[in-house]
């Protein structure tokens, strides 16, 4: 979106107990939906829809981070404080590695290993910026379900040698666990003075960080088997033929097999991007159809603007998460579908917290993680081919000059910039083409028989804030304009925004959003024009003794296309329905609005 379009935050009349409270007790407070038999009228439901900084931001100007100062590296976060911050920014503080400790699953045990970083060079100012080496041939990443036995043998050998380094070089950066630590450390470092650890998820850093992460991981594997053009495979879950665990990862006794995966992923089971791993009594055809419809939403109708696809600007201190469309779905559901069954009653010593793929700290311990993120990265390339305003990353200096830190295949430390990872071919790799049938899977069934009577449902002012989203909830909402011309639509996208989403970060979270659908909506079939999108979240881990497990997020949905498909373009009010799917007991939402936003 345009640089002036900050992610909408709630107006100042939202109760301070809602907008500022980050203590875990917030999510367990008694419901305040009805007071003395009627809904309290003291809450302002609207969000700030103008292009100026919100009052919330003005009051927290010292908490805004200049992302150019963030250096994220192997097993650690590093900060450069010698860069001039923006007028409204503050340089990020350097974490104190002396206090780096093991990660604890809240309510559970400490993880089995520490993911603190190996020592950095004493003089970090000498770390050079990375330059791409000469290239004679592109590394071509292929669909994982189509690779041959020769490739599988090379891949197994590379992972075996990387795992062997865990024993011979446990403190060096190239071992399997040290590579997994790159992901783990985001949950294990001490927190900064801003109270939250720096993160590369749930913002515009998600895609570029993981692209660089896989780049060096891939080169390390190639080095270990003396194969400079070795390329990672990609898990082709956006194609019906790839909507299963790739067979090479399901061979017991091989280095690609992970015994802690959920057993449901074995034997060619079709994944379900819509249910977070729950068993669903339905047909494979319906599962695959739902998956393709979800892909259409996340790549096409919900992602006309860069910040909707890539994720919102990273603002440290306010702790507002704003993940992009692909990060929410299918990225999170694939993690959860593959990870260990979450069962706190499992026998002692048995995995029960989503290990490995199903939890942030442990995701990199499953080799399929890198295959999964290969396809996530491929979606970046595919999205740019869809036309409209689907250009590359937001080319703002705050993002383009953001820096990460990695070791290369020769154990040498380097800094890399986001602005240098926009073209995979310049980085030396590309993707073997695969069909993208989701492009043609726009939903075509109407659940409702026409416009719902907005007078039959309460207005948003009677519903928000929602302190516990545990039942289907419908409300009416005013639109900023109706009957817009095509030129007006091209210039500004109509955005439905939910602000101050507060949730229990220990749990899987998901709720669905529908337009023009009543409380009795049945979410098992997504081939309905009323379905808008979903919010999802993967569990986090915490430092020992840390009881602050409430996270805050913003959800923005592009609804211009949905309004047209549902015949609502001329309406001044619409009906919105929220359907909790996971974690509703620990989920609250502060406010909602619709605004016209410049992409």
Active centre residues (catalytic) = 183, 201, 210, 331, 335, 360, 373
Residue 201 in marked binding region:
yes
Q: SS3 for 180? A: helix
What are the φ/ψ torsions at residue 184 (nearest 5 degrees)?
-60, -40
Q: Report the alpha-carbon distance of residue 474 to residue 462 in Å, rounded.
A: 11
Residue 331 in marked binding region:
yes
Q: Report the alpha-carbon distance of residue 531 to residue 514 in Å, rounded.
A: 5
Which candidate, 457, 551, 461, places its Cα nearest to that of 501?
551
Q: Report the alpha-carbon distance of residue 212 to residue 217 in Å, rounded.
A: 9
Residue 210 in marked binding region:
yes
Number of Cβ within 10 Å of residue 548's Cβ equals 16
Contact assessment for residue 32 and residue 467, using Cβ atoms and an 8 Å cutoff: yes
Q: Report the alpha-carbon distance of residue 402 to residue 78 in Å, rounded.
A: 12
Which tokens hold the place of 516? Answer: 């023009």
The DSSP result for 438-450, as a single string, is: GGG------SSSS
Number of Cβ within 10 Å of residue 302's Cβ equals 26
Q: Report the alpha-carbon distance of residue 366 to residue 176 in Å, rounded.
A: 10
Which candidate, 180, 226, 214, places its Cα nearest to that of 429?
214
Q: SS3 for 511? A: strand
Which candidate, 585, 577, 567, 549, places its Cα nearest to that of 187?
549
Contact assessment for residue 444 and residue 527, using Cβ atoms and an 8 Å cutoff: yes
Which candidate, 103, 110, 79, places its Cα nearest to that of 93?
79
Q: SS3 for 342? A: coil
Number of Cβ within 10 Å of residue 251's Cβ equals 12
Q: Report the alpha-carbon distance of residue 271 to residue 295 in Å, rounded.
A: 13
Which candidate, 559, 565, 564, places its Cα nearest to that of 529?
565
Q: Report the alpha-carbon distance of residue 215 to residue 199 in Å, rounded.
A: 19
Dihedral sign for Cα atoms in the order 269, 275, 277, 278: negative
Please give the annotated binding residues, written as ranges.
Answer: 183, 201, 210, 331, 335, 373
Please give the annotated binding residues for Cu cation, written as ranges.
Answer: 183, 201, 210, 331, 335, 373
């Amino acid at each position: 979106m345009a640089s002036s379009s900050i992610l909408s935050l709630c107006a100042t009349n939202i109760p301070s107990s809602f907008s500022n409270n980050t203590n875990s007790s917030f999510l367990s407070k008694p419901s305040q939906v009805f007071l003395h038999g009627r809904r309290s009228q003291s809450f302002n439901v609207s969000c700030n829809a103008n292009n100026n900084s919100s009052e919330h931001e003005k009051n927290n100007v010292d908490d805004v981070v200049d992302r150019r100062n963030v250096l994220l590296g192997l097993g650690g976060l590093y900060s450069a404080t010698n860069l001039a911050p923006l007028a409204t920014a503050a340089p990020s503080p350097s974490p104190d590695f002396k206090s780096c400790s093991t990660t604890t699953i809240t309510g559970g045990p400490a993880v089995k290993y520490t993911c603190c970083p190996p020592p950095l060079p004493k003089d970090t100012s000498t770390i050079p910026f990375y330059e791409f080496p000469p290239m004679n041939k592109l590394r071509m990443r292929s669909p994982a379900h189509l690779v041959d036995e020769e490739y599988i043998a090379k891949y197994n050998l590379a992972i075996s040698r990387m795992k062997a380094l865990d024993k011979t070089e446990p403190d060096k950066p190239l071992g399997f666990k040290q590579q997994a630590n790159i992901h783990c450390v985001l949950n294990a470092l001490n927190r900064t003075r801003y109270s939250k650890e720096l993160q590369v998820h749930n913002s515009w850093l998600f895609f570029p960080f993981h692209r660089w992460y896989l780049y060096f991981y891939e080169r390390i594997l190639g080095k270990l088997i003396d194969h400079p053009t070795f390329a990672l495979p990609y898990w082709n879950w956006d194609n019906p033929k790839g909507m299963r665990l790739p067979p090479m990862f399901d061979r017991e006794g091989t280095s690609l097999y992970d015994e802690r995966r959920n057993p449901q992923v074995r034997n060619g089971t079709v994944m379900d991007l819509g249910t977070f791993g729950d068993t669903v009594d339905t047909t494979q055809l319906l599962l695959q159809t739902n998956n393709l419809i979800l892909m259409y939403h996340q790549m096409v109708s919900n992602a006309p603007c860069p910040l909707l696809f890539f994720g919102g600007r990273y603002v440290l201190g306010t702790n507002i998460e704003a993940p992009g469309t692909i990060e929410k779905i299918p990225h999170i559901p694939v993690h959860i579908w593959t990870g260990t069954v979450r069962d706190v009653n499992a026998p002692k010593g048995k995995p029960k917290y989503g290990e490995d793929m199903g939890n942030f700290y442990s995701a990199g311990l499953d080799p399929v993680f890198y295959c999964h993120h290969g396809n996530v990265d491929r979606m970046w390339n595919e999205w740019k081919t869809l036309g409209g305003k689907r250009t590359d990353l937001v080319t703002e200096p705050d993002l383009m000059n953001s820096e990460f830190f990695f070791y290369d295949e020769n154990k040498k430390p380097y800094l890399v910039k986001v602005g240098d990872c926009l073209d995979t071919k310049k980085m030396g790799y590309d993707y073997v083409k695969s069909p993208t049938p989701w492009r043609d899977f726009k939903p075509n069934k109407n659940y409702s028989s026409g416009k719902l009577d907005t007078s039959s449902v309460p207005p948003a002012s009677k519903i928000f804030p929602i302190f516990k989203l545990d039942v289907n909830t419908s409300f009416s909402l005013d639109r900023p304009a109706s009957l817009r011309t095509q030129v007006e639509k091209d210039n500004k996208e109509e955005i439905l925004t939910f602000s101050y989403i507060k949730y229990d970060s220990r749990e899987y979270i998901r709720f669905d959003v529908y337009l023009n659908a009543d409380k009795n909506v049945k979410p098992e079939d997504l081939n309905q024009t009323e379905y808008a999108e979903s919010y999802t979240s993967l569990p986090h881990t915490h430092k020992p003794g840390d009881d602050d497990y409430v996270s805050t997020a913003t959800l923005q949905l592009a609804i211009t296309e949905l309004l047209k498909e549902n015949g609502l373009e001329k309406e001044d009010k619409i009906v919105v329905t929220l359907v909790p799917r996971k974690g509703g007991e620990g989920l609250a939402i502060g406010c909602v609005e619709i605004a016209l936003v410049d992409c």
